[in-house]
Amino acid sequence: MSTIGRLPNLEVLKLLFKAFEGQTWEMREGEFLNLKYLKLDNIEIAQWDVSSDHLPCLTQLVLHRCKELEEVPSSFGDIPTLQMIEVHLCSQSAAASVKQIQEKQQDMGNELKVLISGMKT
C-alpha cells in the first residue's frame, strides 16, 4: 500500500475485494497527498489509523460492504476539502461514526453530505 500511496499524481483509488490484507490499515505520512476520491469495497479492515494530514485533498470517501470496520476515524472531520461520505452495507458503528463526523463538520460551518444505507448489525 505504501508504494501506491507514494504515487505523486494519484487522485482516485478504489480498493476492491481482497485488494488489502490485514485487519488494520495504518496510513503513513507522505502517502496519498493528492488523493481526492477513495473507495473501499468489501475490504476486511477493522481498524483504520489515519489523520487529516494523510489525505489533505480528499473530497469523497465511499465505504461499501466494509462490514468489519468498527468506525471511520474522527480525523476525517478535520479534512477541509471533504465534501461527501457514503456508507453502504457497513456496520452500525461505522455509520454512527460518520454521523459524528458530519456533526463536527457542521459545527465548523461546513456542509458535509452523508449517504448511509443498508447498515449491518
Would you say 100 and 71 are in contact if contact means Cβ atoms under 8 Å apart? Answer: no
Would you say 63 and 44 are in contact if contact means Cβ atoms under 8 Å apart? Answer: no
Would you say 58 and 31 are in contact if contact means Cβ atoms under 8 Å apart? Answer: no
pLDDT tens digit sequence for 48-92: 988 878 899 999 999 999 989 999 999 998 888 999 999 999 999
3-state secondary structure (DSSP) of residue 94 = helix
- Using alpha carbons, select from 107, 60, 111, 65 the residue that is nearest to residue 86: 60
Indicate whether this model's pTM tops 0.75. yes
pLDDT at 120: 58
1 confidence band (pLDDT: 50, 70, 90): confident
Domain boundaries, the chain: 2-117
- 88: its cell numbers: 453502504
